[in-house]
Amino acid sequence: MNVKRYFAPTAREALRALKEALGPDAIVLSNRAVEGGVEILALPGEAVGALQAANRAAVVARAGGEVRPAAVEMPAAAARSADDADFRVSLSALAASAARNASRPVAQPAAEPGTVVRAFNPPRIETADYALRSRDGVLRAAAAAQTAARPAPSGPAVFSGRAARSDADEFGSARVRELQETNTRLMAELTGIRGMIERQLAGFAWGETRRQAPARAAMLGELLEAGFSAAIARKLVEAVHEDADRIEAREAVGAALDRLMRACASDEDLLDRGGVYALVGPTGVGKTTTTAKLAARCVVRHGAGRLALITTDGYRIGAQEQLRIYGRILGVPVFSVRDAADLRQTLAGLRNKHMVLIDTMGMSQRDRMVAEQAAMLSGAGDVRRLLLLNATARGDTLDDVVRAYAGGDLAGCIFTKVDEAASLAPALDVAVRHELDIRYLTNGQRVPEDLHLPNRAYLLHRALREHGSASPWHLQGDEAGMLLAAGGA
């Protein structure tokens, strides 16, 4: 293989000398900057064909064949002008030359036995990040770094593939962690940018609403400060016309809320129909007292012999005794059960009763025993549940309670502690969004006087009551728009 070296002060001059000596079809093997100029190593274009023919001859010789000698023809390089592009590599000329060489017979000397001619493989040039994209590259880079960092041993060197693989794995893991941290930062920044844009757009929309429909914007602010969620508040103000005044806006919102409420106006659906009802809800919501109030109403309408009480609350001290006292006052039998099998057996013995009320144990809506309690009640037969909602709680808390106790056997809800609540907007909002039937309201401890059917006018009044201007909860100016923008509404 006739590799020639060309040296010149510049790459242009070295390429010009190379082309003058080897022709435009020469193959450049390498070029590098050296002291005093540039060094280029090159092969004649015909050398590729010669190497290929020699390789074929060696293969035939190893197979026991004979290679016929052929005349060697060296194509003369055409003379070119000095004004031609002297430093350009002409791929078309190279391709044409390769085609000519392939079509011409090339004479090769007889291959000597045992001679192996290997095709020329130019050195592979790898970029800095190539090792990150190939596991083999990672292993090679780690092994090279480990070898360079260690002192040269005096004896024969022993390569530890396991150590190199371990170092490569650590390097790759560090790189993966770095990329994950970068992605996390980028996602956080994108989320912040998105939130900022959404708040800006919400602010623009609020300003446009205040200009086009001031009464609608004012009512939206009142609903938010009363305790309604942004979703229900927007739905209610859709009923307000753009040119409506303040009074017309309040009437339109009240009518829209009245249409969405599912308030029961009589006892017929519950007490007159009868059945088995379990009162469920969080701790301290008033289940035992409400059970006694419903029992008193049922006794008045149907008599004590048509009713039975069951308690499953074996956790709270005095819970069962409290219900037994109410039962003795009303003349109603009270049964205590411990598990699902006991409940099924007790209900089977009370099939002739018009109504059976079950007082359950109170627990947090996040307690896993809520699901166990629902499974026990559903497995006991046709048991319907009445969910008690504390009217003094926040809307998000009530929403959490309803999601925990939701199910197909939920027969409705009862608002408790209505007398202690500043506004009924959060409770009404939850009942409307989850489409719950409002069965009763309780506003005190007296049995049975403080149990009432839901009055629509009273509920609307308590929910839409406006805060005074001196109230710290009153929204001023653009604060309603800022609240909507902060909540992404």
Listing DSSP states for 302-347 in one string gives H-GGGEEEEE---SSTTHHHHHHHHHHHHT--EEE--SHHHHHHHH
Other residues' Cβ atoms within 10 Å of the Cβ of residue 328: 11
Q: Average pLDDT in the 278-291 region?
A: 91
Amino acid at 287: K
- 270 torsion bin: left (phi>0), alpha (psi -120 to 50), beta (else): alpha
| Distance, CA of 173 to CA of 312 (rounded, Å) | 56
Residue 478 clears pLDDT 80, i.e. is over it: no
Give mean pLDDT, residues 255-269: 87
Residue 128's pLDDT is 46
pLDDT digits (tens, 9 = 90+) for 118-149: 555 555 544 544 444 555 555 565 566 555 55
The answer to which of 156-165, 289-298, 441-450 has the lowest mean pLDDT is 156-165
pLDDT-derived band of residue 244, with 50, 70 and 90 as boundaries? confident
Helices (H), 134-278: 135-149, 161-212, 214-226, 230-237, 246-260
Asked if pLDDT for residue 67 goes beyond 50, the answer is no
Inter-CA distances, 36 with 16, 21, 60, Å: 17, 22, 47
pLDDT at residue 460 in the model: 92
113/13: higher pLDDT = 13
Task: Report the C-alpha gap between 444 and 293 in whole angstroms.
Answer: 11
Q: What type of residue is 408?
A: G
Q: Is the pLDDT of residue 488 over 70?
A: no
Judged against a pLDDT cut of 90, whether residue 75 lies above it is answered with no
Burial class of residue 44 (count of CB atoms within 10 Å of its CB; 0-12, 13-18, 19+) = buried
Lowest mean pLDDT among 25-34, 189-198, 250-259, 322-331: 189-198
DSSP code per residue over 69-137: ------PPPPP--TTS-TT---HHHHHHHHHHHHHS----PPPPTT--PPPP-PPPP--TTHHHH-HHH
List strands edge to edge, sheet with 383-390.
334-336, 307-311, 355-359, 275-280, 383-390, 410-416, 438-442, 451-452
Kindly report the average pLDDT of the chain as a whole number. 76
Determine the pLDDT at residue 260. 92
Best CA proximity match to 306, nearest among 337, 273, 266, 265: 273
pLDDT score of 440: 93
* CA–CA gap between residue 274 and residue 269 (Å, rounded): 8
First-to-last C-alpha distance (Å) of the chain: 77
pLDDT at residue number 92:
44
Give pLDDT, residue 206: 54
The angle subtended at Cα 310 by Cα 308 and Cα 311, nearest 5°, is 155
Q: Can you spell out the DSSP letters for 381-422?
A: SSEEEEEEEETTS-HHHHHHHHHHH--TTEEEEEEE-GGG-S
Contact 196, 483 (CB under 8 A): no
Q: Could you give the CA distance from residue 80 to residue 100 in angstroms, rounded to a whole number?
A: 19
Distances (CA, A) of 251 to 237, 239, 356: 11, 10, 42
Contact assessment for residue 410 and residue 385, using Cβ atoms and an 8 Å cutoff:
yes
Instruction: Look up the pTM and report it.
Output: 0.56
Q: What is the mean pLDDT of residues 402-427?
A: 91
Ramachandran region, residue 114 (left: φ > 0; alpha: ψ -120 to 50; beta: rest):
left
Out of 71-85, 289-303, 438-452, least confident range: 71-85
Give the model confidence (pLDDT) of 308-328 as tens digits: 999 987 666 666 788 888 899
**pLDDT for residue 106 is more than 60:** no
Q: In what order do the strands lie in the sheet with 4-8?
A: 4-8, 37-43, 27-34
- Which residues touch 411 (CB under 8 Å, ≥6 apart)? 270, 277, 384, 385, 386, 437, 439
Rounded Cα distance between 265 and 440, Å, is 9
Give the whole-angstrom CA distance, residue 50 versus residue 42: 15
Strands 27-34 vs 275-280: parallel, antiparallel or unpaired: unpaired
Confidence of residue 69 (pLDDT cuts 50, 70, 90): very low
pLDDT, tens only, 338-396: 888 888 989 988 889 999 999 988 888 888 888 888 888 888 888 899 999 999 999 88
Tokens of 100: 């000519």
Task: State the Cα angle at 128 between 127 and 134, rounded to 5°.
Answer: 80
The tokens for 263 are 């308030």
153 Rama class: left (phi>0) / alpha (psi -120 to 50) / beta? beta
- Is residue 217 pLDDT above 90, yes or no? no
CA 54 to CA 315: how far, in whole Å?
96
Pick the closest to residue 326 from 337, 334, 318 (CA basis).
334
Q: What are the DSSP calls for 246-269, one per residue?
A: HHHHHHHHHHHHHHH--B--SSII
Query: Which of 67-81, 119-133, 204-218, 312-326 has the highest average model confidence (pLDDT)?
Result: 312-326
Choice between 293 and 240, residue whose per-residue pLDDT is larger: 293
Q: Does 83 score more than 50 pLDDT? A: no
Question: Who has greater pLDDT, 432 or 198?
Answer: 432
